Amino acid sequence: MITFDDYVRLRGARLVQLARLLIGDRHLAEDLVQEVLGKAFVRWKRITESGDPDLYLRRMLINTKITWWRRRSSREIVTGTVGDRVDRVDLGAEAADRDSAWRLIADLPPRQRATIALRYYEDLSDERIAEILQVSTATVRTQAMRALDKLREQLARTPAHTERGYLR
C-alpha cells in the first residue's frame, strides 16, 4: 500500500498538470489539486483499498473542477499579466502553437476538455476515461468527437493555422 506522502511525491505534479489542462491557469490548478489532496488525505485508507488511487483522484479532480465551475461566485477570469505578455514575445513558433492550442482547449465545455486532457495528455484509453468520468465509453467517444470537431472549426477560422498548412 502506497502512503499518501509517497503518492503526492510521485504523482502530485501530474495531478497539477492535469488540473492545468482542465482549468487553463497554473495557480487555480494548484488550488484545485490542493483542495482535492486535502479531501483525499482524510480518506486515504479507503482510497488505497479501492486498489486504484489514480482513478479515484482523477475523478475527484474532475468532479471538484465541475463543482467550482458551477459555483459562479468562485469563477475567475484569467486575463494574464504583463509578465505573461512579455514572455510570449520570446517564444518560438512551436511554443506559440502550443499556447494557441491551450486557448482553444480552454474554450471547450468542461466534460469535453476533461476528455481531451485525459485522452491526449494522460494517454488513457476510452475505457479508463469512462471510469474516471463515470460515463459510458460511447459517451467518451462522442465527447472526444465533438471536442475535436469544435477545435477543427476554431482552427479553420484562425488565419495563422491555415497559412502554415495545418488544415490540409
Question: pLDDT digits over 19-55, tens only?
Answer: 998 888 889 999 999 999 999 999 999 999 988 999 9
Would you kindly state where each structural domain of the chain is located, as residue ranges?
Answer: 1-78, 83-161
Q: How far apart are CA 167 and CA 20, in angstroms?
A: 27
**pLDDT band, residue 90 (cuts 50/70/90):** very low
* Distance separating alpha carbons of residues 114 and 129, to the nearest angstrom: 9
89, pLDDT greater than 50: no
What does the pLDDT average to over 110-119? 91
Question: pLDDT for 130-143, tens place per residue?
Answer: 999 999 999 999 99
Task: Please give the average per-residue pLDDT across 127-156, as a whole number.
Answer: 92
Average confidence score pLDDT of the chain: 82
Of residues 121 and 143, the one with the higher pLDDT is 143
What is the pTM for the complete model shown?
A: 0.59
At 91 the pLDDT is 43
What pLDDT score does 24 carry?
82
Which pLDDT does position 88 carry in this prediction? 45
> For the purposes of burial, counting CB atoms within 10 Å of the CB of 100, is it exposed (0-12), middle (13-18) or buried (19 or more)?
middle
Contacts of 69 (CB under 8 A, 6+ apart): 75, 110
Question: Looking at the domain that runs over 83-161, which CATH code has it been given?
Answer: 1.10.10.10
